[in-house]
Amino acid sequence: MMPALPSPARPLRIGTRGSPLALAQAHETRARLMAAWGLPEAAFAVVVIKVTGDQVLDKPLKEIGGKGLFTREIEEALLDGGIDIAVHSMKDMPTVQPPGLVLDCHLPREDVRDAFVSPAGGGIADLPPGAVVGSSSLRRRAQLAHRRPDLRLVEFRGNVQTRMRKLAEGAASATFLAMAGLNRLGLAVGQRPIPPDEMLPAVAQGAIGIERRSDDSATAALLEPIADRDTGLRLAAERAFLARLDGSCQTPIAGLALLDAGRIRLRGEILRPDGSARIAGEAEGPASDGAAMGDDLAARLMAEAGPGFFG
């Protein structure tokens, strides 16, 4: 049965953060829904919601609360009925949704890789000893410290444009950004992607998730044509891996699932925050077993790490 479609008189309200990247992701979601159902742009309303993570920029994320900083206010608006769906960067999402909400629609995944960004060009190996590298990501900082302990790492927060500006102003010699975000903003030209074998990305990097109220069957039907099954299968494995590790912005964790011919290959790693130790592993099996594989791989890495690994 066809769901009741939104219209200019009763638009579907799409909740999002207000950064240029978040708006690009909301607009992509709108465009896919317009194409799937033959609807005009006026049948949708993009609602910008201020979140704590975008307002407190002078402190590291680990000091102000972790992943929920980028989702809490949006999810509250969804539960209160102020919006109908919420569009998120999946790497920002906690592994458990609040009661009454479900996250079961994902758009086709973008480039999963990190990008090395430096006015001087080159790559990580080309940085001189003692060079200053800016990043707010504990995962990237730990990976870099593990590989290049001679570098000086500094906090580097803000949206993509803010971090690019800080770099141009000389606040650091280099930084890292997600290729997915650069692609969505049209800023990828001239950037240097880092292969996952060299720098394993964050869990769910490059993926957009659409959250809805669990009792809203009409919206579930509306989203069904734009949901990408392959992305969902990959994220099920990655997010199960993260969930067992109790991953947050306070723990350096990386993971990537690849899907081929109905089978998933999952790679994961955990690091000490100072980069002094790294433990990695992988698992492979049927895509339908992805969540169990993620949980099992995390348990194996935790057993190898022992208590207190993250400090």
Number of helices and strands in the chain (H, E): 10, 13
CA angle 251, 257, 261 (to 5 degrees): 170
Return the structure tokens found at 33: 């829904």
Identify the CATH assignment for 1-107+206-227 out of 3.30.70.890, 3.40.190.10, 1.10.287.130, 3.40.50.970.
Answer: 3.40.190.10
In angstroms, the CA 222 to CA 206 distance is 23
Q: CA torsion sign, 75 to 78 to 82 to 88?
A: positive
Examine the residue annotation and report whether 92 is marked as an active-site residue of this protein: yes
Whether 114-194 and 1-107+206-227 are alike in CATH topology: the answer is yes
Its pTM stands at 0.92
Residues with Cβ within 8 Å of residue 121, at least 6 apart in sequence: 192
pLDDT of residue 190: 76
CA angle 201, 202, 207 (to 5 degrees): 100
The three-state DSSP-derived secondary structure of 98-159 is CCCEEEEEECCCCCCCEEEECCCCCCHHHCCCCCEEECCCHHHHHHHHHHCCCCEEECCCCC
In the chain, domain spans: 1-107+206-227, 114-194, 228-305
pLDDT of residue 120: 86
CATH of domain 114-194: 3.40.190.10
pLDDT of residue 128: 95
Mean pLDDT by 10 residues, the chain (311 residues): 88 96 97 98 97 59 58 94 97 92 97 94 93 93 96 87 88 94 88 94 98 97 97 98 78 96 97 95 98 97 90 71
pLDDT tens figures, 130-140: 999 999 899 99
List 54, 92, 111, 296, catalytic entry: 92
* Fold of the 228-305 domain: Double Stranded RNA Binding Domain (3.30.160)
In angstroms, the CA 225 to CA 308 distance is 45
